[in-house]
Structure 1
Amino acid sequence: MDSIITYLITYNQYLLNIIFQLVLFISKYIPLKQMAFDDSNSPEYQKFKVDKLPKIIRFEKVDYILLLEYYKYKYNKLIKPVQRRSGKSIPIKTTCPKCGAPHQYIYDNNGSRGQYKCKVCGLTFKEYNYASKPLVIRCPYCNSILAEKKERKHYNVHKCNNSKCSYYLNNIKKLPKDLPSTDKYKYKLHYIYREFNINFFKMDLYKLPKQATSFNFKKFNPHILGLCLTYHVNLKLSTRQTAHALAEIHGIKISHTQIANYAMTAASVIKPFVDSFDYKPSRILSADETYIKVKGIKHYVWIIMDACKKSILGYQVSDTRAVGPCILAMRMAFDKFKAFPGKALKFIADGYSAYPLAKQQFELEENKIFDLTQVIGLTNDDAVSAEYRWVKQVIERLNRTFKSSYRVTCGYGSDDGALYGVSLWVAYYNFLRHHPYNYWRPLNELDALKHADNMPAKWQLLISLGQQTILHMQEQSGSS
């Protein structure tokens, strides 16, 4: 027996030595071509790199008569019609697409080859000119007009096709020298801009839920409702386990379906209060996404939290990992600031490309500029990761806390159920859960809950605060 163990140990050492020699050989003699490209380790992720904003030229029409009067008022001179030479003329129907000046004020700009120039507003155009479009998107590096290449569900992809663009030429230089020309398509070389066709900044984040209603108990009472929420949310019991606990401990016979209905209604009433509460956030936010199951299909939960005070400021449930839900969650978090801190705001996230895309849209649509830092990987291989790793670990710890409560549900039955289930947990986390880093007190202490002796009473008071918030929102919507 001892000889067999000795032989196995010797053979194991031999295998380890072979593996070491193979790893050494690979690192010395097999170059990783894709590592030569500076932007990412894998060419597949080049397509998701977010470039800086393009030059966007919005087309606005003006009246040439007003321009003529303005020129006369400012310079005390008249803009005279164009004096034709050598009998040249342009079609009478030709007018400036910007100011509407008639053909008398239009130059033949390139010798009867179809290009014109307006003498009043200075626009150069053709008969089918881009000036009639609502906006023109130009490359920020070479000023070329971007071509629309692809149409996606929520955005269109525009690409710069200029082969002399400085952005393109710099990326060509970064390619591995021995890369075959047929493999260039794997790398992102041209400037790309994603134009969103859905405005995520006009969506109502705080609309009144359909389930918002008053509690009229025919068989049970508010205390039993508080017991249901305490067992189900605080103690992480499933609805069936909660029904069993109420029957065995308190002698209350209630179905698990009734408990689920209570949880859904309580979540819909409490959610407006949780979303509109003044958290007084710090200037360091952390964001991450995790997955859940809805009817057996993978969905995603986006969570944005205050890294210093630990409160959850924004959250969204979505069936895709696209940038839209990310923008909605960031809007919800940014709305907690009475005055947006701008560049003083530190926003920490992982390396997923949705976050820089969302940052770009905030700059474009709402002129909100903030500092986005992406912590990539699991080890501190660079100065950025070493400085902000603790912020990333805070949100990762929060995800584990959420998952421990989510597992008992075995997934959600509907999209609304998932959203209100998450919002009910956020209410518990922000206002009822005792946190060790806050000296075993809730993150946000409410005066209305200080005199409540037990957790069911606190849930009832929290529901009451939610009802007051809904009434206030209804009064505001009615007055407006």
Structure 2
Amino acid sequence: MDSIITYLLLYNQYLVKTIYKLVLFISKNIPLNQWAFDDSNSPEYQKFKVDNLPKIIRFEKVDYQFLLAYYKHKYNKVVKPVHRRNGKSIPSETICPKCGAPHHYIYDNNGNRGQFQCKVCGQNFNESNYVTKPIVLVCPHCGHTLTQKKNRKHFRIHKCTNPKCSYYLAGLKRLHSDIKSSEKYKYKLHYIYREFTFDFFKMNLHTLSKRAINFSFKKFNPHIMGLCLTYHVNLKLSTRQTAHALAEIHSIKISHTMVANYALTAATVIKPFVDTFDYKPSNILSADETYIRVKGIRHYVWIVMDACKKSILGYQVSDTRAVGPCILAMRMAFDKFQSFPGKMLKFIADGYSAYPLAKQQFELEENKIFDLTQVIGLTNDDAVSKEYRWIKQVVERLNRTFKSSYRVTCGYGSEDGALYGVSLWVAYYNFLRPHPYNYWRPLNEIDQLKQADNMPAKWQILISLGQQTILHMQENRLS
């Protein structure tokens, strides 16, 4: 009996060693992390990836006498004044703007062409004692100072040009040997950082449209306006079809232009209430973007929704697919939290690079750190897709619901009309539309809306709640 147990123990040890060798062989020769994302690890897709934030060295004033004493204490050496061999001198009024060192410690850095360098602290500055680089961006991989390469509309592109950077060398290894050296520029090999020059975190998210008219009804009444919104938004009729339905069913002769004016004004008044309502969101958000037409030109709608409670928390309409509108939509969603959940928040999106860029800006500007997961592809070929695919499908289904109401309009006539058309639909989706998820009741039930017997009355109540919200916002601004 003892010999059998001893044999089994030895055999188990042999199996453990064999499994260890197999795992070691697989990890060296078969990169498991690429099975799910073969395309994303290809050098051709490298340009769609977002690099980590650089190291930021900010300009801070110090005392040169303290630095001189520190150098003497640590290195047992005295920093001597600059010995000028060419006979040229520095103006006596020149001092270092960072440490205050006098002209005795200042180098003529570029041959009497206006730039100086402090020998004590190493700061570069010009003749007006102005610091040339108040903020220095440093590559996180090699410590080399980034070089500004391009200027775009809302950001600057900084690049690490160090040929010995580990990031650059790793990118070269991923390239196929058949790629010619003259074609390497097509692939993103160097570390790149985008410095945004436009502050998207100071933009007002609750501006009112200047095209809205007032509610002084001369020919019609609030009930007719509620009928217009019911046919136009709830039943997905165009403005001309809405005017035709009112004439044929209710014998109300109204122009399609007046229907459009009612919709724009109602959207302007209701939007502040929808955007500032306390949705009590969960910690799982899902985001996606879809396209619309404005005067025949492609525009984009960004939507951020609560994946558990299904409410739309943030939305934006833009003419580009840049990161700016993405940040604004995410700001609208994050403002719905009474206290930001931080790392407990799971933000699910597709593989588009605007989302990690926006995440970087939230970490940099507002110190909001959250978990971003990007679901790539259409099939569940990896563990990430299997776990989070259902969240991505929730917002994809929402896009199809929105498109079913959008197609009848054949596109919007202006960007302002597109934004307020979407905001009107969001108000209907969050507060009026019956959802099977909530047992065919609205997602967010309000006591005032429960008292209304019909849909036109509910629209009038929403407008009244929007007016109260606007008055409250104006009182807070005055106080």
Q: Would you call these one fold, judging by a TM-score over 0.5?
A: yes
Taking a change above 3 Å as real, the CA distance of residues 104 and 425 of structure 1, as seen in their structure-2 partners, is same
SS of 1:132's partner is coil
Taking a change above 3 Å as real, the CA distance of residues 89 and 100 of structure 1, as seen in their structure-2 partners, is farther
- Cα distance in 1 for partners of 2:465, 2:68 equals 59
The Cα offsets for residues 406-452 of structure 1, whole Å up to 9 and x where unpaired, read as: 01111111111000000000000000000001111100001111111
Where 1:247 maps in the other structure, the secondary structure is helix
Aligned residues: 432
Name the residue aligned to 2:418. 418
Q: Is the aligned partner of 1:48 residue 2:51?
A: no
- Which stretch shows the higher mean deviation, 372-381 or 166-175? 166-175
Q: Deviations over 1:242-271 (max 9, x none)?
A: 111111111111111111110010000000
**In the alignment, which residue of structure 1 is the partner of 2:462?**
462
Q: In 2, distance between residues paired with 1:403 and 1:107? A: 65
Counterpart amino acid of 2:176? P
Comparing 88-97 and 436-445, the one that deviates more: 88-97
Q: Distance in 2 between matches of 1:164 and 1:118?
A: 27
Residue 167 (structure 1) aligns with: 167
Quickly say closer, same or farther: Cα 1:130–1:164, change in 2 above 3 A: farther
Q: Which residue of 2 aligns with 1:288?
A: 288
Normalised to the residue count of structure 2, the TM-score between the two structures is: 0.83
Distance change >3 Å, CA 108–CA 405, structure 1 → 2: closer
Shift of 1:48: 2.7
Aligned to 1:383: 383
1:91 counterpart residue number = 89
SS in 2 for 1:313: strand
* Distance of 1:318 and 1:182 partners within structure 2: 37
Counterpart of 1:183 in structure 2 is 183
Once the two structures are TM-superposed, the CA of residue 401 in structure 1 deviates from its matched residue by 0.3
Amino acid at match of 2:247: A
CA contact (8 A) 1:285 1:347 kept: yes
In the other structure, the counterpart of 1:207 is 207
Supply the distance in 1 between the matched residues of 2:107 and 2:186 (Cα, whole angstroms): 46
Partner amino acid, structure 2, of 1:151 = N
Unaligned runs of 5+ in 2: 1-34, 110-114
Give the superposed CA RMSD: 3.0
Q: Determine the structure 2 residue equivalent to 1:8.
A: none
Residue in 1 aligned with 2:335?
Answer: 335
**Do the aligned residues in 2 keep the contact of 1:293 with 1:411 (CA within 8 Å)?**
yes
SS at match of 1:145: coil
Q: Match for residue 15 of structure 1?
A: none
How many Å apart are 1:115 and its aligned residue?
A: 8.3
CA distance in 2, matches of 1:256, 1:55: 57
Asked whether the equivalents of residues 59 and 132 of structure 1 are also in contact (C-alpha less than 8 Å), the reply is no
Whether 1:398 and 2:392 are equivalent positions in the alignment is no
SS at match of 2:331: helix
User: What is the rounded CA distance, in whole Å, between the counterparts of 2:167 and 2:196 in structure 1?
Assistant: 23
Separation (CA, whole Å) in 2 of partners of 1:118 and 1:240: 76
CA contact (8 A) 1:286 1:392 kept: yes
Residues 85 and 407 from structure 1, CA distance in 2 versus in 1: closer, same or farther, beyond 3 angstroms?
closer
Distance in structure 2 (CA, Å) of the matches to 1:243 and 1:86: 87
- Taking the aligned partners of 1:335 and 1:101, their CA distance within structure 2 comes to 47
TM-score by structure 1 length?
0.83
SS, match of residue 182 in structure 1: helix
Cα contact 1:82–1:107 (8 A) shared by 2: no
Task: Give 2:243's aligned residue.
Answer: 243
| Superposition deviation, residue 207 in structure 1 | 2.4
Q: Is the 8 A contact 2:346 2:370 kept in 1?
A: yes
Q: Is the 8 A contact 1:211 1:268 kept in 2?
A: no
Paired letter, 1:177: S
Residue 122 of structure 2 aligns with an amino acid whose one-letter code is L
Equivalent position amino acid for 1:436 in 2: P
Q: What is the percent sequence identity of the aligned residues?
A: 76
Task: Answer yes or no: is the 8 Å Cα contact 1:286–1:304 preserved in 2.
Answer: yes
Alpha-carbon distance in structure 2 between the residues aligned to 1:436 and 1:442: 9
Kindly indicate whether the alpha-carbon contact (under 8 Å) linking 1:342 and 1:368 is maintained by their aligned counterparts in 2.
yes
Q: CA deviation at 1:42?
A: 6.2
Q: Which residue number in structure 2 is paired with residue 216 of structure 1?
A: 216
CA distance in structure 2 between the aligned counterparts of 1:105 and 1:160, rounded to whole angstroms: 31
Match in the other structure for 1:447? 447
Distance in 2 between the 1:212 and 1:62 partners?
A: 55
Distance 1:243 1:42, change over 3 A: farther
User: Partner letter of residue 40 of structure 1?
Assistant: S
Map 1:338-353 → 2, pairs under 5 A = 338-353=338-353
Give 1:123's aligned residue: 122
Change (3 A) 1:209 1:475: farther
Q: Deviations over 1:38-69 (max 9, x none)?
A: 673665542232000001112234566xx669
* Closer, same or farther: CA 301–127 of 1 in aligned 2, 3 Å: closer
Q: Residues of 2 paired with 1:85 and 1:396: CA distance?
A: 70
- C-alpha change, 1:303 and 1:116, in structure 2 (3 Å) is closer
Partner of 1:407: 407
